[in-house]
Structure 1
Amino acid sequence: MSSVGPTMPTLLRRGLNLLRTLNVRVQDLESGSVVVSRRHGYEVVPLGRGSWVVRRGRPDDVHHDHKAVMAHLAAEHVVSLLHHYRVGCVLDVGANTGQYAKQLRRYGYRGRIVSFEPVPEITEKLRTAAADDPDWHVYPYALGREDRTDTINVVYGSMSSMLGPSDFGTTRYKRFRDSREEKIEVRRLDGLLDKVLDGLDDPRPYLKMDTQGFDLEAYAGGGERVHEFVGLQSEVALMQIYEGMPRMDEAVSVYEADGFEITGMYPVTREETTGRVLEFDCVMARADKL
């Protein structure tokens, strides 16, 4: 994708026209961008904010298109919610290498971000990602029900978990077979909250959790202070990828009991063969905080 458009310099426009004569597809998008491709079997679906899905038009690509669209819609919704509820601090629990925080910045959130990631080599990548952002802070902990040293199953990608894989998870994700154990530090959320919110006059915090089946444990460590959060985001499961992970109805019931109400549900992963959704990103808010 090139950053040019209808007002591009004449010489560059002539070059693009020349490409068309060579059977190269040149498609203008919004002002400032075009798609240049030797392939013709695709369509461009605009998502807004300078984002598009380039769809190759084959049936086996539909799942990937759907995932990209859902990720965009979820990000738009979350950042809008953060603005509406005047959130000054997002706690990013299970941050991995900072994908979520970087997405918040791309979509316009400018408040404080506090990321938690316990696996040391991943934490270092996260620190590198946050290095040039003065209001993005990194803590090398998992969050849980009590302060302790524990073991995490380190899995390639973003699937490391305090829990072991279920039979279903092992069948679906071959990477579980190459996992290893590593010692990490676990901390309670309520014991860290004063420190991470220090310096903010009216933080109105938002809690995002993506801990691969451990969200309710991270949430429990907030104790009574979970009521200070104006909203939360939790990955809730319909299919148990990890042993002992709570199902969606159990997790949502816990959050609702504390006054959080659903504002959006977005599929995260689904089976390509059956179409079944495995997990949703559940976005919630406390209406009384408005």
Structure 2
Amino acid sequence: MEKKIRKILQHLPFLILDQRKTRGYSLMHDLRFWNKHKSSMVIFDVGANVGEITNDFCRYLPGSRIYAAEPISETYEKLVDNCKKLKNVIPLNFGFGNKEDELDMYVIEDSKYSSVLDSSFAAKHNHKIEKVKVTTLDSFCSLNGIQEIDILKTDTEGFDLEVLSGGKNLLDKKSIRFIVSEATTLRHKTNNTSFFSLAEFLGGYGYVLTGFYDLVRTEGSHGPIRVTNALFEPYL
């Protein structure tokens, strides 16, 4: 009985949102609503870190097969530990980019801010450099017989365009149904991907913006959007 009550309470906010037909409030709610007729999906969590979003995908989109990519060795170990009870999660100890490569990762204490790009940001913090392996979405999907990605989430501290560039074949075929990438509207913020560059790149493949989620502004409730998760889907 206790488990049943806990499950009802867990899903109660989403049941309320479903009744109100509210969209644009919760990313997980919207993804679940738009995919409610699919019993199984393929999800890529690129820049999975310790698996917080990976666990959310498992919780709200059960039955999905989730590839969680985290190239930093110590963070990857935490990811594996946090997902060890989740049989549908496949942890990957490498990153994705626009070509097969080995890159310098600037690893700082709060690993979610580590990056292969912004050494100036790392210089302001205690950090170390770790060599990490990178492959492409097109190559990985081809080798593993993956024809379609239902949800691609990228959170790579400014490397998101490179990740997407490595999936040009998938994008050409509109074989990625939803793309959610962390982005910024501030042009001087180099440790996040520019939303404008992201929209222009994906627009070239026929993808359009569906919504902004998890807005973080520079001045609390107003001011420019510092960071957001931007959701795109193909417009046919």
TM range (shorter): 0.7 to 0.9
Report the aligned-residue RMSD.
3.3
Change (3 A) 1:97 1:196: farther
**Equivalent residues in 2 for 1:1-290, closer than 5 Å:** 48-49=13-14, 73-83=26-36, 88-157=41-110, 158-164=112-118, 176-197=124-145, 203-226=148-171, 227-239=174-186, 240-242=188-190, 246-272=193-219, 275-288=223-236
Equivalenced residue count is 221
Q: 1:184 & 1:32 partners in 2: Cα distance?
A: 41
Q: Deviations over 1:181-237 (max 9, x none)?
A: 111101111110134555xxx755321111010000011111212231112111121
For structure 2, the residue ranges without an aligned partner over 5 or more in a row are 17-22
The alignment-based identity, stated in percent, is: 22
Deviation at 1:107, TM superposition (A): 2.2
TM-score w.r.t. the length of structure 2 is 0.80
Correspondence for 2:20: none
Q: 1:144 & 1:250 partners in 2: Cα distance?
A: 16
Conserved 8 A contact 1:165-1:241? no
Q: Secondary structure at the match of 1:276?
A: strand
Q: Secondary structure at the match of 1:219?
A: helix
Q: Deviations over 1:30-81 (max 9, x none)?
A: x979xxxxxxxxxxxxx81499xxxxxxxxxxxxxxxxxx996122122223
Conserved 8 A contact 1:234-1:281? yes
Conserved 8 A contact 2:182-2:193? no
Change (3 A) 1:32 1:89: closer
The structure with the larger Rg is 1
Q: 1:149 & 1:74 partners in 2: Cα distance?
A: 32
Q: Secondary structure at the match of 1:101?
A: helix
Q: 1:86 & 1:232 partners in 2: Cα distance?
A: 19
TM-score w.r.t. the length of structure 1 is 0.66
Conserved 8 A contact 2:44-2:149? no
Change (3 A) 1:190 1:50: same
Q: Secondary structure at the match of 2:36?
A: helix
Deviation at 1:286, TM superposition (A): 1.9
Q: Deviations over 1:68-108 (max 9, x none)?
A: xx996122122223436776101110000111111122224
Conserved 8 A contact 2:64-2:88? yes
Q: 2:42 & 2:149 partners in 1: Cα distance?
A: 7
Q: 2:209 & 2:37 partners in 1: Cα distance?
A: 15
Conserved 8 A contact 1:152-1:183? yes
Conserved 8 A contact 2:104-2:131? yes
Deviation at 1:267, TM superposition (A): 3.8
